[in-house]
Structure formats: C-alpha cells, structure tokens
Homo-oligomer: A and B are copies of this chain.
Amino acid sequence: MAPAARRRTRAVLAGPLGIGGEYPVSVQTMTKTDTRDLEGTVAQLLCLQARGADLVRLAVPDEQAARMLSAIRRRVNIPLAADIHFDYRLALQALDAGVDKLRLNPGNIGSADRVREVARAAGARGVPIRVGVNAGSLEKRLRAGGVRAAALVESALAQARLLEAAGFTAIVVAVKAADVPLLLEAYRQVAAATDYPLHLGVTEAGTVTTGSVRSAVGIGALLAEGIGDTIRVSLSAPPEEEVRVGKTILSTLGLGPPRPLVVACPTCGRSEFDLQPVVQAVEERLEGVNASLRVAVMGCVVNGPGEAREADIGLAGGGGVALVFRGGKVVRRLRPEELLEGFLAELDDLLAYPGSPASRRST
C-alpha cells in the first residue's frame, strides 16, 4: 500500500545523487556554520553525512566563502549545493570548486549575459540549478494584496525560463512558504504546470518542537499526494535535527531507505507496565538501523497481542507478565523488573540473526 502514485518528472543528477524521475526522494539540509570556517563546516558536513543527509547546502555570501569551497570539497564526499544570491561570480567560483548543485535565481544575478555564463559553466560540469522563491523574497510587484500561490508559481517558473533561454534545463524548482495552506496550493499548481523535479520545504518553520510538526504536515501532505522529489526541513535547531525529521517523514510514508517501524503503545489507564523507558530505549537502539523491521511495544490486552503478533518482534503486557513475540509466536515471558533488559536482549538477538524465527534464548 503506497501513497498516491508519484508525479512523473524529469531527473537531474547532483553529483552521484539523482533527483526526480525514478530516484528515491532525498533529504537535504543546510550547514549552520560560517562557510569561511573550514574546520567547523567540515565537521558539520561529516556529522550530517553520518546522520544520513543526502545533500547539504552551504551559504556562499561572499568571495571568502566561495574560496573556501575547494578546501571543503576536498575534505568531504557528500553532495554539496552552493546557495548564491546577487553575485554571479560566486556561482562560477562554486562550480570551479566542484559543488554538485547550485541554488540560485537567475533573476537576481544581473544581465542575460551573466545568466548565460553561469548556465554554460554549470552545463559543462553537469551541475543542476535549483530555482524558486519563497513568500519572504517574492518580488514586490507580485506581493500586492498579500502573497498568492499563483504568484509564487509565476515567479518560480519565470526563473526557470531565464535558464531555459540560456539553453539550460537541469532545473529543480521550489515554491516555499511558511504558510502551509499557501504552500500546498502553490506546489499543487507548480506540479501541474511543469515536469521539473520539485524541492519541498516549509520555510522558517520554527523550533524543533513546533517546526518539525509544521514541516511534517506540509511536506507529508504533498508527498502523500505524490508531489515532491527532494525535501528540506527548515528548523531553528541544529541541522542534524532537520535530517532526522526529514528521514522520519519519508519513512512514515514508506519512502526513502527501509527503516524500522516502532509501534508503541501510548499507554493509558489500561497499561500494566511502564513502557515509556522501553520505547525510548528501543528507538535509540534502532537509530542507525536501515532495515525493514516492525517492532511493537504494547501495554495492555486490547491492542497489545494483535500488534505484537503482527510485528517481527513484539512485547505485549497483561496479567502481570509481558510476552515477547517473534514472528507471531511467544518466545519469552518477562516479569516487570526484567522488561527493559530482556526485551532489548531479544531485539539485539533479532538484529544479529535476522533470519532466526525465534529466540535462541527461549526455553
């Protein structure tokens, strides 16, 4: 069972990363270091790669930052995108430095000659360009009477046309907004109007507490409609959090690499066990695991046994004892005081011997 069929798009390549077409939806983020700080930026990029980011964007506000890109490029192999505004020479320098993608609006780098120069250089290196707007940076003539979805779409597609006029079509489009209803409408319209791949994001979504929920609603609703080829969650938080939330959005919809699903009892007045520490420990244990695995941690006799039996490994409490299921069969009984340790041991056993139908510890 999958979300709506994915919209058909052209594909582009950002280094080894495919975007659009049949390529899986990817997760982006952006460094929050000063790009001129080589060590800090490289450390953050390595961390983001380890956390599963597929591509990372860096702000390139000036020449010093642009000059640093070559050194950064030599130290990391994760795909990089350079975020450029106003100055076309920064784009050329970034391309020379070996970035895999540009984020740039041709409309704000000056003359058609400059646009052609950037398009030619990007084309020669096989580097795609992401164009697009967000409500915060929309041109004045388009904001009259408040920002409308059609204006976002018009503005983004006008940027794409400037590149097309320069003979360049390796384009990704975004029409970001902070207002999610506006965002949904704008992406639905742009999805109908073009077959370029789309970059999704709720801009300036807030802290991790609020922003992760707002991003999940906006990005998730579009992906569930089959719209979107690469995503970025924008949080006022460390970029690792953006990657974590982005990957969770994808795995929730069965997109992205296979990930364990933890089905966890919310606990209620029916619960006979304190399950929150178990759920927390299980989620932590599975953090780096990329496998399709269903784990159920359930506290009562209403939904517990059903969910636990359905899972690859499940825990169901009730009547003073908790049962551990593997592949639908009870393999162990745990007393309340051995719950956490016993279940984690069983989970580790399953991770070590994925084919094993039942615990080798069972009696």
A residues neighboring B (CB under 8 Å): 1-3, 30-36, 41, 57-61, 65, 83, 85, 134-138, 143, 147-149, 178-182, 184-185, 203-207, 209-214, 216-218, 220-221, 223-225, 234-237, 242, 244-245, 248-249, 252-254, 261-271, 275-276, 279-280, 283, 296-298, 302-304, 306-307, 310
Contacts and interface: CB of A to CB of B under 8 A. Distances in A.
A184 B207 CA distance: 27
A205 B264 contact: yes
Contact of A138 (B30, B58, B252, B306): B306
Nearest to A182: B1
A279 B263 CA distance: 33
A3 B184 contact: yes
Contacts of A211: 264
Contacts of A242: 266
Number of copies: 2
A265 B303 contact: no
A325 to B, nearest CB: 12
B265 A302 contact: no
B263 A203 contact: yes
**10 closest A-B pairs (Cβ-Cβ)?**
A217-B220, A59-B269, A216-B216, A136-B307, A136-B303, A221-B224, A234-B266, A136-B306, A236-B279, A35-B269
A7 B86 CA distance: 46
A91 B248 CA distance: 39
Contacts of A85: 302
A33 B303 CA distance: 18
Contact of A3 (B2, B181, B253, B306): B181
Contacts of A35: 269
A303 B3 CA distance: 33
